[in-house]
């Protein structure tokens, strides 16, 4: 049995690079546009170790309280420790619970939100309905979710001159795995594209979609705090032998998505070769990319 089966979910995705997904002034602008000044009670669904909730705390009213709900007890404890380190223990607290069945009464919160949670659930509409249920009339629902496939078409100094067939091979592998992930009920990694329609279908009004204006830029000497965090993540992934997913996860998704088992090993080795090439270029100080990503913030209100 692999060690991965004993780890809480998303352990590989909760590094410091997650603190740099959004520019604070952009979130302040969105908060103003969405009239979040009156929000006093917030539910952060699938809070993980608290990155999203603590970030929102800095753009909401100083007396707004944030309750994070998270299924993994390890993350509940770590989120509480992290909030304390940030001086937010009086505003941010965390409890164990499930996004598909929120343990709260109807109309309990002014704002209900999540970040990179709906990409992991079998029925995102069901979670949206739960989020809407516990939102007070006139209250807000926000979901920050990506299109994870698009980033594989962003060029870098390593891939800019790659053969077309090599680039198509990467996208094909990713799409097969993503289809398998959906088939296994483990979520759609590009669900962000679909959320405005889902919000409207579930009865939310004043629906809008924003894009994060923070690119994952990398260029030598990788001097900024954000670039240092991203550099560490690239190098750690190469050392771990992961490509977004572990080999075991990718094999499950690939098989479920219709990929032939006889082709998986060679395809995975190509992904590892690509990851090592990026890591080698970073260590040599030659890697650079604008690092564009698609990360949406979809907003709506519960009708009054």
Across residues 104-120, what is the average pLDDT?
97
Judge if 142 and 120 occupy the same domain. Answer: yes
Judge if 239 and 140 occupy the same domain. Answer: no
Judge if 78 and 209 occupy the same domain. Answer: yes
> Is the model's pTM score more than 0.95?
no
Across residues 179-189, what is the average pLDDT?
97
Judge if 264 and 248 occupy the same domain. Answer: yes
Cα–Cα–Cα angle for 147, 69, 88, rounded to 5 degrees: 100
Judge if 178 and 246 occupy the same domain. Answer: yes
Range of the domain at 267: 149-186+218-288
Across residues 134-143, what is the average pLDDT?
98
CATH number at residue 107: 3.40.50.150
Judge if 158 and 87 occupy the same domain. Answer: no
Judge if 63 and 209 occupy the same domain. Answer: yes
Q: pLDDT category, 19, cuts 50, 70, 90?
A: confident
Q: How many structural domains are present in the chain?
A: 2
Condensed to tens digits (0 to 9), the pLDDT of residues 235-264 reads 999 999 999 899 999 999 999 999 999 999
Judge if 246 and 209 occupy the same domain. Answer: no
Judge if 29 and 66 occupy the same domain. Answer: yes
C-alpha to C-alpha distance for 201 and 62, rounded to whole angstroms: 33
Condensed to tens digits (0 to 9), the pLDDT of residues 152-166 reads 999 999 999 999 999
The partner residues of 147 in beta bridges, in order of sequence, read 294
Q: Answer whether residue 187 shows pLDDT above 50.
A: yes
C-alpha to C-alpha distance for 303 and 132, rounded to whole angstroms: 10
Judge if 243 and 125 occupy the same domain. Answer: no
Condensed to tens digits (0 to 9), the pLDDT of residues 252-296 reads 999 999 999 999 999 999 999 999 999 999 999 999 999 999 999
Give the DSSP per-residue string, 45-90: ET-TTSHHHHHHHTTS-TT-EEEEEES-HHHHHHHHHHHHHTT-TT
Q: Answer whether residue 189 shows pLDDT above 50.
A: yes
Judge if 209 and 269 occupy the same domain. Answer: no
Q: Answer whether residue 64 shows pLDDT above 50.
A: yes
Judge if 234 and 252 occupy the same domain. Answer: yes
């Amino acid at each position: 049995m692999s060690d991965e089966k004993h780890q809480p979910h998303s352990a590989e995705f909760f590094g410091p690079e997650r603190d740099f997904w959004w520019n604070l002034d952009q979130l302040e602008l969105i908060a103003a546009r969405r009239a979040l000044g009156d929000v006093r009670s917030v539910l952060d669904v699938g809070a993980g170790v608290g990155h999203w909730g603590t970030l929102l705390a800095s753009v909401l009213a100083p007396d707004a309280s944030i309750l994070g709900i998270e299924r993994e007890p390890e993350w509940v404890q770590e989120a509480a420790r992290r909030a304390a380190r940030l001086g937010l223990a009086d505003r941010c607290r965390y409890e164990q619970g499930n996004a598909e069945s929120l343990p709260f009464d109807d109309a309990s919160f002014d704002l209900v939100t999540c970040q990179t949670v709906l990409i992991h659930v079998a029925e995102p509409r069901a979670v949206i309905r739960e989020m809407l249920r516990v939102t007070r009339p006139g209250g807000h629902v926000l979901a920050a979710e990506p299109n994870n496939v698009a980033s594989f078409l962003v060029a870098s100094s390593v891939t800019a001159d790659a053969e077309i067939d090599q680039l198509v091979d990467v996208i094909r592998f990713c799409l097969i795995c993503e289809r398998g992930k959906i088939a296994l009920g483990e979520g759609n990694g590009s669900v962000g594209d679909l959320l405005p329609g889902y919000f409207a279908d579930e009865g939310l009004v004043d629906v809008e979609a924003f894009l994060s204006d923070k690119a994952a830029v990398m260029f030598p000497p990788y001097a900024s705090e954000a670039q240092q965090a991203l550099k560490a993540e690239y190098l750690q992934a190469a050392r771990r032998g992961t490509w977004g997913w572990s080999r075991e996860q990718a094999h499950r998704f690939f098989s479920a998505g219709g990929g032939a088992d006889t082709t998986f090993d060679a395809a995975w080795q190509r992904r590892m070769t690509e990851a090592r090439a990026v890591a080698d270029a970073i260590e040599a100080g030659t890697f650079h990319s604008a690092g564009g990503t698609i990360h949406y913030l979809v907003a709506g209100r519960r009708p009054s």
